[in-house]
Amino acid sequence: MTTIGHFINGRTITPQGRSQSVYNPATGNAEKSVLLASKTTVEEAITHAQTAFADWRNTPVSKRARVMFKFKHLLEENAQHITALIGQEHGKISHDAAGELQRGIENVEFACAAPHLLKGEHSKNVGPSIDSWSEFQPLGVVTGITPFNFPAMVPLWMFPLAIVCGNTFVLKPSERDPSCAMYLAQLLKEAGLPDGIFNVVNGDKEAVDVLLSDERIKAVSFVGSTPIAEYIYTTANTNAKRCQALGGAKNHAIVMPDADMDNAVNQLLGAAFGSSGERCMALSVVVAVGDEAADQLVSKMQAAMSELKVGSYQDASNDFGPLITKQHKQRVEAFITSAERQGAKIVVDGRNIQVDGYSDGFFIGATLIDSVTPIMESYQAEIFGPVLQVVRVDNMQQGMQLIDDHEYGNGTCIFTRDGEAARYFSDHIQVGMVGINVPLPVPVAYHSFGGWKRSLFGDLHAYGPDGVRFYTKRKTITQRWPSSGVREGASFSFPS
Catalytic residue positions? 280
* Helix, strand, or coil (residue 363): coil
Q: Residue 327: CB partners within 8 Å, gap ≥ 6?
A: none
185-191, Cβ contacts within 8 angstroms, sequence gap of 24 or more: 185/7, 186/7, 187/71, 187/74, 187/75, 187/78, 188/67, 188/71, 189/10, 190/70, 190/74, 191/67, 191/68, 191/70, 191/71, 191/73, 191/74
Q: Residue 470: CB partners within 8 Å, gap ≥ 6?
A: 219, 221, 242, 244, 460, 462
- C-alpha 402/C-alpha 392 separation (Å) is 11
Give the orientation angle of helix 179-190 with respect to helix 79-90, to 10 degrees: 160
- C-alpha 117/C-alpha 85 separation (Å) is 33
- The bridge status of strand 198-200 relative to strand 168-172 is parallel
DSSP state of 462: B
Of the candidates 275, 301, 278, the one whose C-alpha atom is nearest the C-alpha of residue 288 is: 301
Backbone torsions φ then ψ of 320, nearest 5 degrees: -155, 170
**CA triple 330-373-337, angle to 5 deg:** 20
CB 93 within 8 A of CB 274: no
- The most distant pair of C-alpha atoms in the chain lies apart, rounded to whole Å, by 90
